[in-house]
Structure 1
Amino acid sequence: MDPRYDDSDEEEQSEETTTHDGSDQEEETGDSTTGLIETYIDTNDYQFDWVTGTGVEMADVGGLDEVNEELRQDIVRPMREEPKKAERFDIPLPNVLLHGPPGTGKTYLAKALATELGFPFVSLSGSDVTSKWVNESADQVGQLFDEAEDLAEETGGAVIFLDELDSVLPERELDSHGEDRKVVNEFLSHLQESARKRVLFIGATNRRDDLDKAATRNGRIDKEAYIGEPDYDARVEIFRVQLARRPNSLSESELEDLAAATEGVVAADIESMVNQAARNAAYGRNGDQIEFQDLKHQLN
């Protein structure tokens, strides 16, 4: 499976590693887009795998136009494009929760947002943070945010994406293990301070109701977006995006036929269909482009 639609029930994909070319912000002229100054950042001493490129852009995300626009207005513009205006209006940076069924594109969307921002980015799953060793989990959380704050100070911002958030911030019970409570408390304390330090936290989960209620209150995670099964129009757009960079002969009416025939599927399923159709076109029948029949065959 291509990493673009991996979610918490899927095997985690390895992140692309690149040399950090962080950026400092120049003085804005009015409300124009912020100028960027490339700087070199040595990450050899960092424990977590910070990258500056994910290979995914907002234009690659299909079927989530409304969510994309909200994220652009609430995060990209104040954090990257017009920070002076955000400062003048005292607009805080919201941490984000993406929730919904597996395979709907939560991880892919987070990567696209990170690319749009251009700041150092780290992608983790809950199992990367939790540990069987006593006291280590809370220390891992502290180390993660310490590194993010250091990078944000150098580059102007940093982005943390954590999948399987419910495994790190589960609802605390009276009889829960003391170490579990310590991890949750450590995380909550950092979430409350992250916006002030220009660290954007994005969490994703398939189980929204299992999260500790203190984590989802305003001041910690301020913005939530439900990423559900795509409707008909969204499925048309996902097929279009998936095929855009591949040679194909599909007409708009054929895309609509495919969307109508795939009710109930998620973005990851559509991507898998297109990938297999591409293999069939290239190697199965030695064609020079993907045709409608290649995709229609996948419906079976």
Structure 2
Amino acid sequence: MEGCSKNNYNNNKMMMSSSRKEDLFHVIHKVPQGDTPYVKAKHAQLVQKDPEAAIVLFWKAINAGDRVDSALKDMAVVMKQLNRSEEAIEAVKSFRGRCSNQAQESLDNVLIDLYKKCGKVDEQIGLLKRKLRLIYQGEIFNGKPTKTARSHGKKFQVSVKQETSRLLGNLGWAYMQKSNYLTAEVVYRKAQMIDPDANKACNLGLCLIKQGRYDDARSVLEDILQDKLPGSEDIKARNRAEELLMELKAFQPPMELSDILGLDDDFVNGIELLVNEWAPLRTKRLPIFEEISTFRDKLSC
């Protein structure tokens, strides 16, 4: 009897040790427990490091209705890593109808990243504007002032102000990719008014450089190095600001026509009057300014 008792004790001890090891394995590799298609997909992705097998298993999980929200998002991320972003976009569009309402916002964020990866700037701009409208209507945060977000496995709280500014920053960068620097500037300045930070200030500085407005750009970038903005202590932001300021040294302000020719102002003004007479009639306001005004009005609605 005593021997049986010892054997039972040892067996229980081994089972407990095995269970602890299994639990520790799942914690270390961040793999859920179980034997479902989704669990197998995560195991292939994170433990076996086999993204192709993971994608096949994520498909199976979606078709089986196994953690569809997570399976679709994870599959899109893996596809993006394999440069299959176009396929990932179609997958998200096709299957997001099977996902919960709570997953739709994060799926929009996945799509924005995929559009950026594929260079689909117009689609990116359209989705960012839609998300901004939803925030204004109180639909994204469910009427609450904050939401819980996740990054690199850590949870944190995001305010409406922070999310709005982040989306505007992304929208400004999208306009930059279209070389629409005037609209990008309007968007960046709006973002900085809501929730300023050094990273967006760098992008605004670059936007102003692209427009040839070197003094304005210098003022924005120097605010970072003088620690006047949140995030100014970030090494990447400071290094980028310093690099852009170094580039500015290569630019000289454009000289006036009178300085170039050594002529007086009256002569220069006379030339401008003649040019205006020769030039075809046109409205003084360029179409781009109409676009900016329209966009500004939409944002302020």
Is the pair's TM-score, using the shorter chain for normalization, greater than 0.5?
A: no
Q: Rg larger in 1 or in 2?
A: 2
Task: Report the TM-score when normalising by structure 2.
Answer: 0.25
Bigger strand fraction: 1
Task: Report the TM-score when normalising by structure 1.
Answer: 0.25
Bigger helix fraction: 2
Q: Which has the higher contact order (CA 8 A, sep 6+)?
A: 1
